[in-house]
């Protein structure tokens, strides 16, 4: 079981949390889990949207204090 990779995209506007996730997903292997940290509230909507469209797994979304924690799994 591989470790969850944590991507800290808090307080960033460009490239932004979703772009960072896309980049790390490319580097990941199928089955890897990634956890993205974001302070951008739009991420809570646009990341699940992207995950669904491309065909990966949305594991969980949690908001802890001011940060969203989005866990995803590379499915293909």
Partner 1 sequence: MRILVVGGGTAGTIVANNLARRLSAETRSGKVRLTMLSASDRHMYQPGLLYVAFGQMTPDQLYRDQASLLEASIDFHVDPVKQFQLDQNKVVTESGKVHEYDILVIATGSRMVPEETPGLNEGAEFFYTEASAVKMYKRLREFQGGRVAVAVGVPHKCPIAPVEVMFALHDFFKARGIRDKVQLKYYYPIGRIHTIENVAIWAKPEFDRLGIEYETLFNIKEVDAKNKILKSEEGIDVEYDLLVVIPQHRGMEVIERDNLGQGGWIPTNRYSLTMNGHDNVYVVGDTTNLPVSKTGSAAHFQAEVISENIASIIKVGEPVRDYDGKVYCFIEAGHDRATYAMFNYLNPPDLKPPSKPMHWFKVAYNQMYWTSVRGLL
User: Cα torsion at 24, 28, 30, 36 (round to 10°)?
Assistant: -40
No. of H helices and E strands in the chain? Answer: 2, 4
Q: How far is the CB of 14 from partner 1 (least distance, A)?
A: 5
Binding status of residue 29 toward partner 1 by CB under 8 A:
no
> 19 or 31: whose CB is closer to partner 1?
19
- Residues belonging to the chain: 76
The residues of the shown chain that bind partner 1, judged by CB under 8 A, are 7-9, 11-20, 22-23, 26-27, 42, 46, 49-50, 53-55
Which residues are tagged catalytic?
Answer: 14
């Amino acid at each position: 079981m591989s470790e969850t990779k944590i991507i800290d995209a808090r307080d960033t506007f460009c490239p932004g949390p979703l772009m960072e996730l896309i980049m790390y997903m490319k580097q990941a292997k199928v089955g890897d889990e990634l956890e993205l940290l974001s302070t951008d509230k739009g991420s809570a909507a646009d990341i699940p949207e992207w995950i669904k469209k491309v065909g990966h797994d949305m594991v969980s979304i949690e908001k802890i204090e001011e940060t969203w924690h989005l866990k995803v799994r590379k499915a293909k």
